[in-house]
Chains A and B, each alone.
Chain A
Amino acid sequence: MSLAQTKETDVSKRLAEMKVSQSGWSAPARKEAYDRLMKMGMPQRRDEYWKYTRPDTLTSGEAIPAAVQKDSEGPIFDELDSHKLVFVDGVYSETLSDGLSLTGAVLELLSTTEEVDIHWAKSLYGSLEKNGQTPVARPLAAFNSAFAEEGILLHVKETLSKPISLHYIHGSETSDVILHHVIKVDAGARATILESGAVAARCNTVIEAEIEQGGQLNHIRAQGRDHERRAVTHVFAQLEEHSQFKSFTLTMNGVLTRNETVIDMRGDDSIAHVAGASVGDGDFHHDDTVFITHDALRGESRQVFKKVLRNGATGVFQGKILVKPGAQKTDGYQISQSLLLDDDSQFLAKPELEIYADDVACSHGSTSGAIDEEALFYLRSRGVAADEATNLLTLAFLSEALSEVENEDIAELINARLEGWLKRRR
């Protein structure tokens, strides 16, 4: 048996051993997702969409163990006034959390509603993921819909007074976690969702977010610093008229991260911003894969991704703007940039535009570069030591992505973490 076949069998064995839940409101959606997955198969290295990132450790039978890192800095969003929900290796912790009662929203857990037959999330669960499977297949998201064990079901009916903070504690070295969150934001309502923490040795998370007319959802995520953790995440957002979705992800460390964001701008005048700042040193592979579909008038989308790479770290960006026929006055912007702090690191970028409307403005750019020597000398000539000057310029490089975070308190917390990360590497 060849090595490839061994791995194939390993994946099949994993799937055969897993049970799709047969009962409750999500059962039909899970069954459908399972069937989708069987048709697509798990991602393979030869798949075009996985050309730059090897999927094998994400699909393998067992998660590769990952050491739990002592976190001296503490959870990043703890300083903020938020409604906190904590998951330890994917299991909701009642004692560590603020509970499920919330003014202006219905907040439930996937696991505890399992036996209910009728549920508001029924029409959403798996449906945004399903829509996101064309034109590009995302088997690991279908896998998630079929097998997710936990997640929040959040129906935002009014503007929430404070963010909901999901904090994920990585507890066991061998944890393998599947989380699936469903969020519905009603017309005119606003909510902010924060995510933080390393989750598990391996995690697969999906967020499906439907934002009704005039609704707004902010999503800010800080992926945990555990060096050996692996993560594949999908965010599916569906935007109705005048709605807004803004998502920012901070990634520091992690041996493998694949973050996919799939946005369907189906309502006129909707706004979608997706941004990310990632910093990696050494054994670090970080992949941002974004697919934004403009299918309505006057949509505005922005993708801003910045990566700082050193000691052989790898960054990947696959970003696409698809402008469908009739999506006139679309305003699309996409930038992906890497700062390579040495010659060993690499950045692989595949920016794509596909436009079927004639009255649109779309721009995109992608660059890789080193620290600007002129700027470095200028700073040093003013007395700033070389390493401090390099850090200052590195933060400056990341600042365009960071400026996508509208809340200044949150932006400051993120900046402080980045500063800390850079200082530890002097």
Chain B
Amino acid sequence: MLEIKNLCVSLEEEDKQILKGVNLTVEAGKVHAIMGPNGSGKSTLSYVLSGRDGYEVTDGSASLLGEDILDMEPEERAAAGLFLAFQYPVEIPGVGNMTFLRTAVNAQRKARGEEEMSATDFLKEVRSKAKDLKIDADMLKRPVNVGFSGGEKKRNEILQMAMLEPKMCILDETDSGLDVDAMKLVAEGVNALRSQNRGFLVITHYQRLLDHIKPDVVHIMADGRIVKTGGPELALEVENNGYADILAEVA
């Protein structure tokens, strides 16, 4: 599904290398988790994959279903099936949440040469999916993320994911700023989307999200590299002993 080979990335503004050769393959139907201390490059990886400005790829490659994505515009990557759930979802005053969702759904369909979704079908689908995530009609009407609580913003990200039905989902610290109940809701939303044809990359600082979204593979990232890969037990190890032991072990 997602194949990252020796990905090296620097900041455009300053000559600072953030990713120093990341190798990672996420298979369809699998959930991979990336854990790591602050500043290890986890969020940078998600931004580079989704096409945010400000990063320079100096070496390596990243492909989605065999197609190189690093030369694509962000909207082309989205149409190809990539989705990033933002750590800090952006507020857009003046654009209604519903308008935003419909525009996005139809833009992707158009880019893929599919027919646009009719207004009634769209409404039906968005209402049912919003209900599962306990997103009320008012939240759908309001401007995108404006005045939303931390939990509401994250639920709104999952709603977008559910509507866009991407092939590869990257969740960037989706647990940050969530209380236990909100985390359960978000995790249920994600779990409902798990399928044989979809891959997940869950970036998190803590193990607790992984109690709810059970990963198949756990990677530890440090200083711009993946330093250790294992099963779910690796996340527990981090929970119990912190990163220090693992980092000392691989150093």
8 Å CB contacts to A: which residues of B78-118? Answer: 78-79, 83-84, 86, 89-95, 99-100, 103-104, 107-108, 111
Which chain A residue has the least Cβ–Cβ distance from B163? A382
Q: Does B29 contact A (CB under 8 A)?
A: no
Contact call A388/B107, Cβ cutoff below 8 A:
yes
Q: Measured between C-beta atoms, what is the minimum distance from A64 to chain B in Å?
A: 37
Cα-based distance from A384 to B160 in the complex (angstroms):
13
Q: Would you mind naming 10 contact pairs between A and B with Cβ atoms under 8 Å apart?
A: A372-B92, A373-B53, A375-B92, A379-B100, A381-B52, A383-B79, A383-B108, A385-B111, A392-B99, A395-B95
- Given contact pairs A373-B53, A393-B95, A383 touches B89 in the complex (Cβ within 8 A): no
Q: Does A374 contact B (CB under 8 A)?
A: yes
Contacts of A80 in B (CB 8 A): none
Q: Measured between C-beta atoms, what is the minimum distance from A362 to chain B in Å?
A: 23
Contact call B52/A382, Cβ cutoff below 8 A:
no
- Given contact pairs A377-B52, A377-B53, A381-B50, A386 touches B94 in the complex (Cβ within 8 A): no
Q: Mark B104-137, 1 if CB is under 8 A from A, else 0.
A: 1001100100000000000000000000000000
Contacts of A333 in B (CB 8 A): none
Contacts of B164 in A (CB 8 A): 382-383
Contact call B78/A380, Cβ cutoff below 8 A:
yes
Q: Does A397 contact B (CB under 8 A)?
A: yes
Q: Mark B58-96, 1 if CB is under 8 A from A, else 0.
A: 000000000000000111011100011010011111110
Contact call A383/B95, Cβ cutoff below 8 A:
no
Q: Measured between C-beta atoms, what is the minimum distance from A46 to chain B in Å?
A: 40
Q: Mark B205-238, 1 if CB is under 8 A from A, else 0.
A: 0000000000000000000000000000000000
Contacts of B83 in A (CB 8 A): 381
Q: Does B150 contact A (CB under 8 A)?
A: no
Contact call A384/B103, Cβ cutoff below 8 A:
yes
Q: Does B177 contact A (CB under 8 A)?
A: no
Contacts of B111 in A (CB 8 A): 383, 385
Contact call A379/B104, Cβ cutoff below 8 A:
yes
Cα-based distance from A379 to B94 in the complex (angstroms):
13
Q: Measured between C-beta atoms, what is the minimum distance from B251 to chain A in Å?
A: 35
Contacts of B99 in A (CB 8 A): 392
- Chain A-chain B contacts (Cβ-Cβ < 8 Å), number: 79
8 Å CB contacts to A: which residues of B38-60? Answer: 50-53
Q: Mark A371-409, 1 if CB is under 8 A from B, else 0.
A: 011110111111111101100110111111000000000
Cα-based distance from A392 to B104 in the complex (angstroms):
11
- Given contact pairs A382-B78, A383-B75, A383-B79, A396 touches B108 in the complex (Cβ within 8 A): no
Contacts of A397 in B (CB 8 A): 94
Q: Measured between C-beta atoms, what is the minimum distance from A388 to chain B in Å?
A: 7
Other A-B pairs, 17, CB within 8 Å; known A381-B52, A382-B107: A373-B53, A377-B53, A377-B74, A378-B90, A378-B92, A379-B100, A380-B51, A380-B73, A380-B75, A381-B78, A382-B160, A383-B79, A383-B164, A385-B73, A392-B95, A399-B94, A400-B94
Contact call B107/A385, Cβ cutoff below 8 A:
yes
Which chain B residue has the least Cβ–Cβ distance from A392? B95
Contact call B86/A378, Cβ cutoff below 8 A:
yes
Contact call A392/B53, Cβ cutoff below 8 A:
no
Q: Measured between C-beta atoms, what is the minimum distance from B143 to chain A in Å?
A: 8
Which chain B residue has the least Cβ–Cβ distance from A378? B90
Contact call B94/A383, Cβ cutoff below 8 A:
no
Contacts of A374 in B (CB 8 A): 90
Cα-based distance from A400 to B95 in the complex (angstroms):
11
| Contacting residue for A393 out of B53, B78, B89, B92, CB 8 A | B92
Contacts of A373 in B (CB 8 A): 53
Contact call A392/B103, Cβ cutoff below 8 A:
yes
Which chain A residue has the least Cβ–Cβ distance from B78? A383
Q: Which of B84, B92, B103, B104 has the most CB of A within 10 A?
A: B92
Contacts of A388 in B (CB 8 A): 103, 107
Cα-based distance from A19 to B35 in the complex (angstroms):
85
Contacts of A392 in B (CB 8 A): 95, 99-100, 103
Q: Measured between C-beta atoms, what is the minimum distance from B192 to chain A in Å?
A: 20
Cα-based distance from A399 to B77 in the complex (angstroms):
30
Q: Measured between C-beta atoms, what is the minimum distance from A330 to chain B in Å?
A: 27
8 Å CB contacts to A: which residues of B7-55? Answer: 50-53
Q: Measured between C-beta atoms, what is the minimum distance from B98 to chain A in Å?
A: 13
